[in-house]
Copies of this chain bind each other. A is one copy, B any other.
């Protein structure tokens, strides 16, 4: 299992998503140029990326979609990802209900909240537990990733619980930087920064 740069991985996942759509449309073959149109990348970029995975295209015809998809998935999507959620507030509940988290690729398997009134309830088949139960419950779920969707001031303690539960991946939706051991991977999604940076793009034109 070779290692690829993050950028390549992200693009590859985008290709898989795109190929899924093309399959639904009943297409059989696709050229790097068509993929480039859809994904807003260049055709060379796409061929370079795909060439990482071997010679899979056919000159004159392009790529056989089903075959390409299965090859790419072999590298970036061996099996379902299981995630658990910490913080069932506005954002948390929306994440639980997000359609992308209930398919064969990603599955939400448990949620945690400090509010005793929420504990024991279910949203979309996802059961809500108390924070204290995390270190006991999480290992049983075989989860790999924890989501932080609590108020910003509790992000660090939540991160500590996630690490203590044995998870090695964290998606942090709070506008804070959390401290974790270096073998734990963190992805920060700060909506404010996303919006403000887009605004900068607009202005400097």
The chain A residues found within 8 Å of chain B, CB to CB, are 1, 3, 6, 9-10, 13-14, 17-18, 21, 38-40, 76-78, 81, 83, 90-91, 93-95, 97-101, 105-106, 144-145, 152, 168-169, 171, 175-177, 183, 185, 187, 189-205
The majority secondary structure among interface residues of chain A is: helix
- Nearest CB of chain B from residue A92's CB, rounded to whole Å: 8
Q: How many copies does the complex hold?
A: 2
Cross-chain contact A204 with B3 (CB below 8 angstroms): yes
- Nearest CB of chain B from residue A118's CB, rounded to whole Å: 16
- Residues on B with beta carbons closer than 8 Å to the beta carbon of A90: 93-94, 97-98
- Residues on B with beta carbons closer than 8 Å to the beta carbon of A204: 1, 3
Given contacts A93-B94, A105-B192, A192-B100, contact A199 B81 (CB under 8 A): yes
